[in-house]
Amino acid sequence: MPGTRIELARHFKYRGILSPLCLPIPPSRQVKTLYKKEEFFTSSLRNFYYFFIRSVKYTHLHSLKTFINIHNMYSDTHFHFNLIEENKRVEVLKTFLERKTFFAQDIGTHCDDLQSRQNLMVDSILKANLNNEDIEKLKRTVCFTAGIWPAVEAIKDRNSQVDILEKEILKALHNEDAFLQKITALGECGLDHHWNPSGVDGRCESDFDSTVFFGECELFEMQLALAKKLKLPVICHSRDAASDTLNCLKNMDYDNGVIHCCTYLIDDVKKFLDRGWYIGFTGSITYTKKSKMEDMKQLLQYIPEDRILLETDAPYLAPVPMRGNPNTPIFIEYVYKMIAEMRSTSVEHLSAIVDKNCSSLFGVEA
């Protein structure tokens, strides 16, 4: 029946198979009979079509991983395992396994803390009484950084501390044990004009100390230079110091890393994004003041999908509803939930994009 094929094609076209609006054009007499026969078939196709288009629109095809690997949840790019309560450490590791967490980064703050932190992690994994398969899974998830936080004592002793840091990192990178070799970034390091006597945050103007102020910038620049030399991304701590941080980055011409625990608003954040930085958010966003909530929402919606990272900074900054308790990476789910809501997306989708970003910034395999 040569006519049938043409009518069928026309029928599909007019019944909306090729038109997203699916306009209800009355079928012709010939097509009417055909429509009755094919009604079930075409409406099923149409339903599939709508489902497919909606999937593309609302979840973006690349995040279909979300539906497949629904359990790869809640990467935490910044916590201090050695400062987490001793009786919570095994529970944290077991939670990574239960959630099939893709990436968990233990952050250093002192020039010589790397080895002791790694020993503590290995001991805690042993204490968790896991089978070999789970131990291997955990070792794929957990990784380490090393860096010098800008404390006044470290600033004053910066030359010898950066030497020690370099030796510690090189020693680890040459370790025969693949797990202990996993140094994924340098940091945390940066500028803290809130706690240090910088005179710029209005908290301690009378306190300005030029030796500390310029020494702090130098300590940060020395670590940027080291990161550049070792080709490592940087975990950048920057508090009340956006313009000085940007100056250091420009001076050292190194833009590779994350502005962790971001407390800046959109104008400053844009400058870091433009230079190629990722932006990390902690539980502190869950207690944003009501008057600042709209600004925070605007910022969170502005961050491109390929630049957002999430972290706890445990044991600090426990998110609501756990505020007031010592924080652990277990509580990161509340940070994901709030940010997903503010970005009008699902927690699963947010987890998938953060995992992808961890993979591209820290060079771990997805």
Question: Which residues are at the interface with Zn ion (CB under 5 A)?
Answer: 313
- Between 31 and 314, name the residue whose CB sits nearer to Zn ion: 314
- Between 63 and 77, name the residue whose CB sits nearer to Zn ion: 77
Residue with structure tokens 């699916």? 22
Nearest approach, Cβ of 107 to Zn ion (angstroms)?
A: 5
Q: How far apart are CA 366 and CA 355, in angstroms?
A: 8
Residue whose C-alpha is closest to residue 114's, from 181, 67, 51, 57: 181
- State in Å, rounded, how far the first CA of the chain is from the last one: 53
CB-closest chain residue to Zn ion: 313
Nearest approach, Cβ of 67 to Zn ion (angstroms)?
A: 33
Strand runs labelled E in 261-323: 278-281, 308-310
- Between 232 and 352, name the residue whose CB sits nearer to Zn ion: 232
- Between 113 and 313, name the residue whose CB sits nearer to Zn ion: 313
Residue with structure tokens 């497949």? 68
Task: Report whether 348 contacts 64 (CB < 8 A).
Answer: no
Nearest approach, Cβ of 260 to Zn ion (angstroms)?
A: 7
- Between 141 and 327, name the residue whose CB sits nearer to Zn ion: 327
φ and ψ at residue 223, rounded to 5 degrees: -75, -35
Residue with structure tokens 């771990």? 364
Nearest approach, Cβ of 80 to Zn ion (angstroms)?
A: 6
Is 207 exposed, middle or buried, given 0-12, 13-18 or 19+ CB atoms closer than 10 A?
exposed
- Between 31 and 317, name the residue whose CB sits nearer to Zn ion: 317
Characterize the bridge pairing of strands 278-281 and 308-310. parallel
Nearest approach, Cβ of 91 to Zn ion (angstroms)?
A: 20
Nearest approach, Cβ of 112 to Zn ion (angstroms)?
A: 17
Nearest approach, Cβ of 105 to Zn ion (angstroms)?
A: 10
Q: How far apart are CA 199 and CA 251, in angstroms?
A: 22
- Between 166 and 313, name the residue whose CB sits nearer to Zn ion: 313
- CB-based burial, 223-239: b 16+ in 10 Å, e otherwise: bbebbeeeebbbbbbbb
Residues 6+ apart with CB under 8 A from 26: none
Residue whose C-alpha is closest to residue 224's, from 184, 262, 251: 251
Nearest approach, Cβ of 77 to Zn ion (angstroms)?
A: 10
- Between 216 and 348, name the residue whose CB sits nearer to Zn ion: 216
